[in-house]
Amino acid sequence: MQILVEPVLSHAKAQAGRHLNELNDFVHFPSISADPKHSVDLKNCAMWLAGHLRRIGLENVNIVPTQRHPIVFAEWQHAPGKPTVLIYGHYDVQPVDPISEWLSSPFEPAVRGQDLYGRGASDDKGQMFCHVKALEAYLRTTGRLPVNVKCLFEGEEEIGSPNLGPFLARNKDTLAADVAVISDTRILAPNRPAITYSLRGALSLELEVRGPEHDLHSGSFGGAVHNPLQALCEIIAGLHDATGRVTIPAFYDRVRPQSAEERGYMARVGPTNGQILSAAQVQMGWGEHGYTLYERTTMRPALTVNGIFGGYQGPGPKAIIPAKAKAKMNFRLVCDQDPHETNRLFRRHIARIAPPTLRTAVRTHFAAKPALINRQHPTTRIAAIAYEKGFGAMPVFIRSGGTIPAAGLFQDVLAVPTVLMGFALPDDRMHAPNEKFHLPNFFNGIATSIWFLTEVANAGRRNQQEVRMSSAAA
């Protein structure tokens, strides 16, 4: 049976206005997974999403509770003999601080120019919605999908997907698929699509330093008592050396060295130092000597301090030695580092360097493994064709410095080949104030997803066997 894709694409094009309105509704939910006081918003967002999936014609739609935020599952299984595509996305978003820097309210989505502004617009509501609208366009015009589809949309990606692994392990059969697609990454520019083949892992921690039982008067005790804030600064300052390397012993031991060929390819297709600085809006780079900025952010691990708090933060002065100080920290890890091992190395190091004048405590927020995708897999070729048709340009292959726990878990637990097909731009401000989604990418993303489903079906017809065999070997 020949698949007629033009009516599907035309339908999606004609419905662009409605699609944008629906994305607005989706972004409207303040589904901040890190903040317990938003639990109800995540539930409401999951219910809205489940209702939406039901309305467009998906079946077996389920809201699966977890220890924190629910997983939304849906499927369509009426294409016997065709491959099954597992579509992953996350409906949770990052916190919005500093709120004062938003030009429009983060949960009152606003279109300015060709961009939709709002928390989650690109990370990941907008990107996952490309697939939802592609499925809808197919179902509305042809009454069916060209392949079998399973949707898995979680609400805990931004807190490290703590309940996704156990969910996958419990539901291996239900989730069995020939290929998984995740759209939660970047392309280089609106006309330069990209398939991501490498993700960094992550380890999020909190380090606390405790000193006196209560805040002390800095006049009475200044000079005689070790200040927890100062000690925290001393510890953090000592975690990097003058060449930008992390000083934790054995930290780099498992970092996989990259070949000259690989580094050459990265230099040819990846962003230049100038492009990375321009996306970050900073004048100068920083970091580990001997590597380009693209290498530092993708094939080399990194340690960043995400927040420090301690002592007085109100207006004016307050002359105290605070009782305690805390820092939130985030490691980005590369193959073959293991976040659980890094966690142990960090804790051992802190215990060794902590001054005897104070007490320290480490709390682990989450750990996710790095992931490396096999670029030679046929799925990748299919994704490339879809991009070429959806964006009018062949994609390049890039590494991402970010982390998607699902990518590693799909490999490890489901053994399903995964393709990272992103639609966000480097300056979409994921995690930052004024996050946006470039609307041409939204519409091209929908078209790309339509082509992807189509080409998987075509490839399935041509060489079902090839896809399945590669999948089994992955």
Q: Which of residues 32-61 bind its own copies (CB under 8 A)?
A: 33-36
Alpha helices in 371-438, H assignment, sequence order: 378-391, 405-409
Nearest-Å Rg of the Cα atoms of the chain is: 23
- For residue 325, report the phi and psi dihedrals to the nearest 5 degrees: -150, 150
Find the part of the chain contacting its own copies (CB under 8 A) among 125-133, 166-174, 325-333, 462-470. Answer: 325-333
77 vs 306 by CB, closer to its own copies: 306
Whole-angstrom Cα distance, residue 470 to residue 275?
36
Find the part of the chain contacting its own copies (CB under 8 A) among 73-81, 82-90, 292-300, 450-458. Answer: 292-300
Query: 224 to 263, contacts with its own copies by CB under 8 A?
Result: 224-227, 229-230, 232-234, 236-238, 240, 244
Binding flag, residue 222, its own copies (CB under 8 A) = yes
Whole-angstrom Cα distance, residue 306 to residue 303?
10
Whole-angstrom Cα distance, residue 468 to residue 474?
10
The H-or-E segment that residue 398 falls in is strand 396-399
Q: Looking at 30, 193, 301, 422, which residue binds its own copies (CB under 8 A)? A: 301
Q: Please, what is the minimum distance in Å from the beta carbon of residue 65 to its own copies?
A: 19
Whole-angstrom Cα distance, residue 427 to residue 433?
12
Q: Which two tokens stand for residue 451?
A: 């082509």
Whole-angstrom Cα distance, residue 85 to residue 383?
12
- Number of Cβ atoms within 10 Å of the Cβ of 157: 26
Find the part of the chain contacting its own copies (CB under 8 A) among 71-79, 315-323, 376-384, 414-422. Answer: 315-323
Q: Which two tokens stand for residue 62?
A: 């389920």
Q: Looking at 26, 91, 197, 366, which residue binds its own copies (CB under 8 A)? A: 366
156 vs 455 by CB, closer to its own copies: 156
Binding flag, residue 320, its own copies (CB under 8 A) = yes
Find how far residue 168's CA is from the centre of its chain. Answer: 18
Task: Identify the residue whose tokens are 């909190």.
Answer: 206
Pairing of strands 179-182, 84-90: parallel
Of the candidates 338, 42, 324, 298, the one whose C-alpha atom is nearest the C-alpha of residue 206 is 324
Q: Which two tokens stand for residue 472?
A: 């089994």
Query: 341 to 360, contacts with its own copies by CB under 8 A?
Result: 356-357
Alpha helices in 143-216, H assignment, sequence order: 164-170
Sheet containing 436-438: give its strands across: 110-112, 115-117, 436-438
Find the part of the chain contacting its own copies (CB under 8 A) among 44-52, 254-262, 274-282, 385-393. Answer: 274-282
Q: Looking at 2, 284, 352, 376, which residue binds its own copies (CB under 8 A)? A: 284
Binding flag, residue 112, its own copies (CB under 8 A) = no
Binding flag, residue 362, its own copies (CB under 8 A) = no
Query: 144 to 203, contacts with its own copies by CB under 8 A?
Result: 159-160, 186, 200, 202
Binding flag, residue 305, its own copies (CB under 8 A) = yes
Binding residue count for its own copies, defined by CB under 8 A: 101
328 vs 381 by CB, closer to its own copies: 328
Binding flag, residue 321, its own copies (CB under 8 A) = yes
- For residue 151, report the phi and psi dihedrals to the nearest 5 degrees: -105, 135
SS3 category, 197: strand
Query: 392 to 451, contacts with its own copies by CB under 8 A?
Result: 400-403, 426, 429-434
Whole-angstrom Cα distance, residue 372 to residue 299?
10
57 vs 433 by CB, closer to its own copies: 433
Q: Please, what is the minimum distance in Å from the beta carbon of residue 92 to its own copies?
A: 11
Q: Please, what is the minimum distance in Å from the beta carbon of residue 351 to its own copies?
A: 17
Binding flag, residue 317, its own copies (CB under 8 A) = yes
Q: Please, what is the minimum distance in Å from the beta carbon of residue 193 to its own copies?
A: 17
Binding flag, residue 81, its own copies (CB under 8 A) = no
Q: Looking at 7, 10, 247, 309, which residue binds its own copies (CB under 8 A)? A: 309
165 vs 285 by CB, closer to its own copies: 285
Query: 192 to 221, contacts with its own copies by CB under 8 A?
Result: 200, 202, 204, 206, 211-221
The H-or-E segment that residue 450 falls in is helix 439-473
Binding flag, residue 335, its own copies (CB under 8 A) = no
- Number of Cβ atoms within 10 Å of the Cβ of 279: 15
